[in-house]
Every structure is written in C-alpha cells, then in structure tokens.
Amino acid sequence: MSVNAKVLVTNPVDAVGEAILREAGCRIVQPSGEAQETLYDLVVDADALIVRSKIPDDLLDHGPRLRAVVRHGVGLDFLPMARATALGIAVANVPGANAEAVAEYVFAAFLELARQLGKLNAELRESDWWTARARSAGALELWDKCLGIVGVGNVGQRVARIGGLGFGMRVLASEPRLGALQDFVSPTALPDLFAQSDFIALCCPLTPQTHQLVGADLIGRMKSTACLVNAARGEVIDDDALVAALRERRIGGAALDVFAAQPLPRGHPYLSLDNLVLTPHLAGLTVESMQRMSKIACEEAVRMLRGEQPVNSVNPEVWHSSRRRGGPR
C-alpha cells in the first residue's frame, strides 16, 4: 500500500532504508549543507521525520503534518521528547541496532589505551625500531583485569559478555535493574566500581540522574593505572574533573567518543592531552550497523505512516492522537 508521504531525514540513511521508503511511495528530503535553518523549511509539510542528529527544540512546532518521528538510533536526547508527546506526535527508536558496534568500539578503545598501537605505529614510521619497542614497555593486558560497566542496557550487556567471556575479566556493573545482569556480572555501587576497576566503560543513557555523574569524586577513586572509555554521552562526564586527572597523570588514560559540545571545539583542553584518545562520535557507525539502523528506522516510519503501531514505540500513549494529525495530500 502506497503511503504518498514526505519523509524528512536530518542526515542521509543507508541505501537499504532509502529503498524501503521509496517502495512505499515516500518522497525523501533532507537539508542541504550544515545549516539547520533548512530543517524548518522542510518540516512544514513533512509527514514523518527520521532523526540522526540533534534537532532544534522547537522544530516539531513547525511541522503541523508530522505524524511520526523515528530516532535512527537509540538515544532520545537528540529530540524534544516532552514536546513531541505534548503535540501528539508518535515517536519510535531502534534499540539494539548499533549495540554490537558500540561494544566493539569500547574494546578497541581499551586495547588502544592498553597497548598504544597508534603511537607505536607512528613511532616506528617516524623514528626507529628500538625507539618504538621501548615505548611498549608499559603495555597492559586485559586478561584477568577488573571491568566496570556503568549502565548495562543493550550495549552494556554486550560489553559485559565480551569482557567476561572473551577476555576473562572480572565484571562489575552499576545498574538499578539488577534482574537484567548476567550471571558472571556483580552488581556494585558506583564508588566501589570506580575504585576496583582497571577498565571502566560508560554505557548509560543521558538522563537528569546521569548528567555529570562522573565527576571529581568518582574519578578520584580510580586506580592510577585505570582507563575510562565514554561511548555514552559527553554530558555524563564533568570535563574539568577529567582534564585535571589526565593532566596530573592520576589515572592511566581515557578514550572519548562523545562530548558535551559537538563538534569538539578547536582549542578544547582535551586536544592537548597525550593520554587521551579522541574520536568524533562514531562508536556506533559501521557498515553493518548503519544498514540495520536504516532498515529498522525506515520500516518503522512506513509502518506508522500506514496507520500501524510501531514495534519500538517510545510514547505509546499518543499513538491514537498522532493518527489524526496531517491529513490526505
């Protein structure tokens, strides 16, 4: 059944997703360049919105026809959920679609911090064999170390499995829903988790409770050799506290994929630290995860436009009112 709808995407989706939309009779539009102002122009007569990057808080107010918003990913902090619900716009997301990619990133970051392969590669190319070998003197193993996980949803569960079953790590987790923990994972209070862990992975969503959760107190409890990886949201960490700890070499190192301000501003203190690995919010982006996310997100958009309830509804209470928005073209 053709839906004859206009679908606005904030960023390109994978070809597999585009095909799903076009086969359903949807017209795909997206803003040109980096100017967010064009989103306001395009949303005016859009029937659905697929969100891959953070949208302005008032954008939904400018889309009177919007019946469906789909988060191309998991984190709902990219869109104004309260406003969507107040306007009666149904929202869905794609939980778990990029969990494997993020979990693998976490261990890629742990291994980079433990073995310094990037620096060794550069040293060997720019200097000599013996200088490069000397740099490896502080290399660490993950085997039999303690892994602390903050947040064990889809990503955290996979991080726990890779660490516990793959690397033989002792796994601690801070998670209020203790029933969700795997047998080999020990529920642990945050202060103890930070004090005992050799490697710490932040995998929690950004909420009022997790905003700047990792501050001077928790960082101050870390071992001098411990490493921290943030693949959650930048605002989970107090930047000043982490910068101070890294500058003073009070912890072993850190890797950050997410930041409070994105793109990371030039001149930011993080850029001057040699014990910090930085990546531009790509932990969840692989060929496979993009295909999965695009497929599920576009299927959900088509489903909602056809009047069918989404599989991964975020605000099911507005589903019936959302169907009254817009109208025939």
Read off the pLDDT band of 322 (50, 70, 90).
confident
Reply yes or no on whether the pLDDT at 81 is more than 60: yes
Are the folds of 6-95+287-322 and 99-278 the same?
yes
* Percent of the chain whose pLDDT exceeds 90: 85
- pLDDT of the residue at 179: 57
- Give the pLDDT of residue 326: 73
What pLDDT was estimated at residue 34?
A: 58
Q: How far is the C-alpha of 48 from the C-alpha of 310, rounded, in Å?
A: 13
Q: What confidence tens digit (pLDDT) does each residue in 136-193 have?
A: 888 999 999 999 999 999 999 999 999 999 999 999 999 766 556 888 999 999 999 9
Q: How confident is the model at residue 196 (pLDDT cuts 50, 70, 90)?
A: very high
Please check whether residue 297 is in contact with residue 68, taking contact to mean a CB–CB distance below 8 angstroms.
no
Residue 328's pLDDT is what?
Answer: 56
Give the largest Cα separation in the chain, rounded. 72
Q: Would the pLDDT of 1 be above 90?
A: no
pLDDT at position 33 is 66
Predicted confidence band of residue 36 (pLDDT cuts 50, 70, 90): low
pLDDT confidence of residue 136: 82
Looking at per-residue pLDDT, the higher value among 241 and 123 belongs to 241
pLDDT score of 148: 98
pLDDT at 176: 60
Res 32: pLDDT: 81
Q: Of the candidates 81, 61, 76, 70, which has an alpha carbon nearest to the alpha carbon of residue 26?
A: 70
Instruction: Report pLDDT for 246.
Output: 98
Kindly give, in sequence order, each residue whose CB lies less than 8 Å from that of residue 176, ignoring residues fewer than 6 positions away: none
The residues spanned by each domain of the chain are 6-95+287-322, 99-278
What is the bridge-based pairing of β-strands 185-187 and 199-202?
Answer: unpaired
> What is the chain's mean pLDDT, rounded?
93
Question: Which region among 4-18, 69-83, 123-137, 185-199 has the lowest average model confidence (pLDDT)?
Answer: 123-137
> What homologous superfamily does CATH list for 99-278?
NAD(P)-binding Rossmann-like Domain (3.40.50.720)
The position carrying tokens 């406003």 is 83
CATH architecture of 6-95+287-322: 3-Layer(aba) Sandwich (3.40)
Please report the pLDDT score of residue 35 as a whole number.
56
Q: Span 191-217, mean pLDDT?
A: 96
> Is the pLDDT higher at 3 or at 157?
157
Higher-pLDDT residue of 35 and 159 is 159
pLDDT in the model for residue 189: 94
Angle (CA) 227 103 253, round 5°? 15
Question: Which position has the token pair 């539009």?
Answer: 29
Q: What per-residue confidence (pLDDT) applies to 192?
A: 97
Name which of 80-94, 123-137, 153-167 the model is least confident about: 123-137
Q: Which pLDDT band holds residue 324 (cuts at 50, 70, 90)?
A: confident
